[in-house]
Amino acid sequence: MHCGPLCQLLWLWPYLSYIQAVPIQKVQDDTKTLIKTIVTRINDISHTQLVPSKQRVTGLDFIPGLHPVLSLSKMDQTLAIYQQILTSLSSRSVIQIANDLENLRDLLHLLASSESCPLPRARGLETLESLGGVLEASLYSTEVVALSRLQGSLQDMLQQLDISPRC
């Protein structure tokens, strides 16, 4: 559908209205603080400490890997998948992290809006529902691997945010 600049303006409008009220510096600070908070939360979940970083777990390829995430849209996409996975795990501490991820994604959209680049709302994995069996049979593995990788991704993002990532 080609609706042109008007559509883009309408798409950005909710975020632009936020920016009017919230200084972008605060958004940036909150983004970094929230990332650190999530990293700390993952650290506090004791069993994630037990996974040796070099240990590979097979069969969980749907969890995003530790590739450097360079753009805001890619960050949003990655976080959307993590959010989807964590929500499906449904344990209290993990659900809290999933909520944090939603806030973090909103902040990324605000940052993108401040740079006038529309960031479409990323969707999670369409195939995740078909992986219900995998999740059910390997809840522990999924949680441990997902949290470990998420922690790494977040630390990457934290570094990227310091150097103003592209859209």
Partner 1 sequence: MISQKFFVVLLHWEFIYMATAFDMAYPVTPWKVKLSCIPPNTTYDFLFPTGISENSSSLNGHYEAVDEDKFNINTTYFSNLSSKTSSYCCFWSEQDKNCSIYANNTEGNASVSTVNASVFQQIGANWNIQCWMKGDLKLLICQMESLFNNTFKNYEFKAHLSYILSEDLEDSSLVSQIGSFQSVQCTCTVNECCECHIPVPTAKLSSTLLMHLEIASGGVIFQSPLISVQPINVVKPDPPLVLHVEITDSGELKISWSSPTLLPFQLQYQVKYSENSTTKVAETALATSLLVDNVLPGSLYEVQVRSKRLDGPGIWSDWSAPYIFTTQDVIYFPPKILTTVGSNVSFQCVYKNENKVVPAEKIVWWMNLAEKIPQSQYNVMSDHVSKVTLHNVNATIPRGKFTYNAVYCCNERECHHRYAELYVLDVNIKISCETDGYLSKMTCRWSTNTMPSLVGSTLQLRYRRRGLYCFNSPSIHPISEPKDCHLKSDGFYECVFQPIFLLSGYTMWIRINHALGSLDSPPACFTPESVVKPLPPSSVKAEITVNVGLLKISWEKPALPENDLQFQIRYGLSGKEVQWKIYEVYDAKSKSCSLAVSDLCAVYAAQVRCKRLDGLGYWSDWSDLAYTVVMDVKVPARGPEFWRRISEDPTKKQRNVTLLWKPLMKHDSLCSVRRYVVEHHTSPNGTWSEDVGNYTESTFPWTEQTHTVTVLAINSIGASSVNSNLTFSWAMGEVNIVQSLSAYTLNSSCAVLSWMLSPSHYNLMYLIIEWKNLNEDNEMKWIRIPSSVKKYYIHDQFIPIEKYEFSLYPVFVEGVGKPKIINSFTQDDIEKHENNAGLYVIVPIIISSSVLLLGTLLISHQRMKKLFWEDVPNPKNCSWAQGINFQKRTDIL
Residues that bind partner 1 (CB under 8 A): 14, 18, 21-22, 30, 33-34, 36-37, 40-41, 43-44, 92-93, 95-96, 99-100, 102-103, 106-107, 110
Closer residue to partner 1 (CB): 36 or 67: 36
- The answer for residues whose C-beta is within 8 angstroms of residue 160's C-beta and 6 or more apart is 68, 69, 70, 75
Helices (H), 22-91: 24-44, 72-89
- Closest CB 33 distance from partner 1, rounded Å: 5
What residue has token string 């650190």?
Answer: 36
Q: From the DSSP assignment, how many helices (H) and strands (E) are in the chain?
A: 6, 0
- Closest CB 66 distance from partner 1, rounded Å: 22
Closer residue to partner 1 (CB): 37 or 138: 37
- Closest CB 158 distance from partner 1, rounded Å: 11
- Closest CB 129 distance from partner 1, rounded Å: 23
How many other β-carbons are positioned within 10 Å of the β-carbon of residue 11? 16
Measured between alpha carbons, how far is 41 from 97 in angstroms, rounded to an integer?
A: 8
Closer residue to partner 1 (CB): 114 or 138: 114
